[in-house]
């Protein structure tokens, strides 16, 4: 209890310094993907494949109904699919996106917070491209391999990481427990893969914020100084998270 109160006070102080930053350094990338980036590409009647949607599909029941969408859930884990809200998926496919070959018949693929968990992102891009019809769109959100928390995540043993996250972010327990590899998860690598698999980059969004260090204000301040310096050196390669809208033009 005392510990939680202390962490809350540190988070409050940490968000205080963010108030002086511009939007790219202040607005959470995943929130932006959910609220702004992806919704504008949704059109009535589309067939959407939510790759790695599992128990948390991107589209809710109200939006599905309003836009008359057909939603297919594709996930490597059958249990994840089984725990999705009832009726949200019109079809489920239990498959590894790295092995899966689609039928080039979907309008949109959504892939939110999944590719960092995939061992071979090159193969995953091949899978994503195979699902879309020509002109179809892949909407991707991913944390970057270059983010400091990602680098730490790659060296901390899974079990210890889960325990630490459970203490510091109990409210995000639903996200814990998926091993992360961050294979090729940088904006530059994704652009190269997009070209390789016949996509055109339609829109990108880069966000230089994560809350992992906000549990202890001095650490957050140090991380902030580091992230600003890294941004000056590397621009979008220094982003903590990024979103891409990729249009399939061939392959």
Ligand X SMILES: C[S@@+](CC[C@H](N)C(=O)[O-])C[C@H]1O[C@@H](n2cnc3c(N)ncnc32)[C@H](O)[C@@H]1O
Q: Which residues bind ligand X (CB under 6 A)?
A: 52-54, 56, 75-77, 80, 96-98, 112-114, 117-118, 175, 178
CA distance 117 to 64: 27
Contact indicator for 119, 181 with CB cutoff of 8 Å: yes
Find the shortest distance in angstroms from Cβ 214 to ligand X.
20
Find the shortest distance in angstroms from Cβ 175 to ligand X.
5
The count of other CB atoms within 10 Å of the CB of residue 167 is 11
Q: Which residues have a Cβ under 8 Å from the Cβ of 215 and sit 6 or more positions away?
A: 7, 10, 11, 168
By beta-carbon proximity to ligand X, the closer residue of 52 and 187 is 52
Find the shortest distance in angstroms from Cβ 156 to ligand X.
17
By beta-carbon proximity to ligand X, the closer residue of 92 and 220 is 92
Find the shortest distance in angstroms from Cβ 181 to ligand X.
9
CA distance 93 to 74: 5
C-alpha distances in Å from residue 227, one per residue of 39, 105, 220, 241: 29, 41, 10, 12
Rounded to a whole number of angstroms, the distance between the first and last alpha carbons of the chain is 55
By beta-carbon proximity to ligand X, the closer residue of 50 and 107 is 50
By beta-carbon proximity to ligand X, the closer residue of 98 and 164 is 98
Largest CA distance in the chain: 57
Report the residue closest to ligand X, judged by CB. Answer: 54
Find the shortest distance in angstroms from Cβ 118 to ligand X.
5
By beta-carbon proximity to ligand X, the closer residue of 12 and 175 is 175
By beta-carbon proximity to ligand X, the closer residue of 3 and 173 is 173
Find the shortest distance in angstroms from Cβ 81 to ligand X.
8
Please give the backbone phi and psi of residue 58, each rounded to the nearest 5 degrees, phi first. -65, -40
């Amino acid at each position: 209890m005392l510990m939680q109160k202390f962490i809350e006070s540190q988070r409050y102080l940490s968000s205080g310094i963010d108030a002086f930053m511009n939007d790219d350094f202040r607005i959470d990338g995943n929130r932006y993907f959910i609220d702004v980036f992806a919704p504008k590409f949704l059109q009535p009647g589309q067939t959407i494949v939510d790759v790695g949607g599992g128990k948390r599909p991107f589209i809710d029941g109200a939006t599905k109904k309003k836009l008359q969408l057909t939603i297919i859930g594709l996930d490597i884990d059958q249990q994840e699919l089984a725990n999705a809200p009832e009726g949200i998926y019109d079809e489920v496919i239990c498959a590894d996106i790295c092995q899966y070959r689609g039928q080039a018949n979907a309008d949109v693929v959504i892939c939110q917070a999944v590719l960092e968990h995939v061992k071979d992102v090159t193969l995953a891009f091949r899978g994503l491209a195979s699902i879309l019809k020509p002109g179809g769109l892949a909407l991707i959100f991913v944390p970057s391999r270059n983010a400091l928390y990602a680098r730490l995540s790659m060296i901390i043993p899974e079990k210890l990481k889960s325990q630490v996250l459970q203490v510091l972010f109990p409210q995000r327990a639903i996200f814990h427990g998926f091993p992360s590899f961050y294979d090729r998860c940088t904006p530059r690598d994704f652009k190269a893969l997009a070209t390789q698999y016949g996509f055109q980059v339609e829109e990108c969004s880069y966000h230089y914020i994560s809350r992992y260090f906000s549990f202890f204000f001095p650490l957050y301040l140090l991380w902030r100084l580091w992230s600003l310096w890294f941004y000056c050196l590397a621009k979008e390669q220094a982003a903590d998270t990024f979103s891409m809208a990729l249009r399939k033009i061939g392959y």
